[in-house]
Amino acid sequence: MSEEPTTSSGEESKPSLLHRLGHLAATVGKTGPKKKSTKIILQGSVAFLIFAFLVFTVVSQWSELKDKGVEFDFIWLIPAVLMMLLYYIAGAGVWGLILRFLGSPVPAMETQKIWAQPLLVRYIPGTVLFILARILMAEKAGVQRRVSTAGIVYEQAVSIAGALTIATWFLIDHPDLQDQPARWLPLLVLPVMVCLLHPRIFGPVSKRLLHALGRESLPQLMPFRGVVTIYLAYVVVWAIMGVGVFFAARAVHHLNLDDLAIVAASQMIGFL
């Protein structure tokens, strides 16, 4: 299905700003430098930026840790790394499930690559490169750009709802908040967030936005059972992350097993 804007043959009016933005988003990345040397320079520059920001992040955090007298117990890093790897594998699996519900299934190994590789770009300030990399890599696997974009919207919304589910326990059970009725508000926000992705709501909104950008509607919407499935999957994914963070924290500070829920919930609050 073509992603070019649809206009009538007799229409000669100048395209709107939204149409021009939509056309730009649909064409960016389709053409690249023809010279191999130019490609190598561009790829090397991106790799250098990623490495530079990684080093900067580690150095800045390391000095802060040393000032606080933190000492590592490396044995606890082994289960932490294993849980983090499981988190990334599960996160990519949920992304593949989202694409499948949107009618654009991708092989499992290809899904892992599409989901994981753009994460490196997150170390460069801003999220535009991360989103663009995900969309371009998915397009090479046969997923239309508007489908990938919709998938990212589903992913972000449902992942926030999943993280909020775990964080809610921390807010409700926190001793300093026992006299605050507002601590129960997340229980009202969660169903609202999930219901906003219902096809009867998300469908008209996405259709109107895509048409404003001069793009065609999504070829397929995610059924609500798919939304609920993705939500439950993300609760599990975030729980895996919480366990991994607990093991990582145990490597630098003594924690009891009954601190697991608090550490996991605090990680979710940090994400939110």
Q: Residue 166: exposed, middle, or buried by beta-carbon count in 10 A (0-12, 13-18, 19+)? A: buried
Q: What is the Cα–Cα distance from 211 to 196, expressed in whole angstroms? A: 20
User: In this model, does residue 100 exceed pLDDT 80?
Assistant: yes
- Domain coordinates in residue numbering, the chain: 35-70, 71-109+143-271
User: In this model, does residue 139 exceed pLDDT 60?
Assistant: yes
Percent of the chain with pLDDT over 90: 13
The radius of gyration of the chain's CA atoms, rounded to the nearest angstrom, is 22
- Predicted pLDDT at 9: 45
**266 versus 64: which is more confidently predicted?**
266
Q: Residue 170: exposed, middle, or buried by beta-carbon count in 10 A (0-12, 13-18, 19+)? A: buried
pTM, whole model, 2 decimals?
0.69
User: In this model, does residue 160 exceed pLDDT 50?
Assistant: yes
Residue written as token pair 């053409």: 31
Tell me the average pLDDT across 222-251: 90
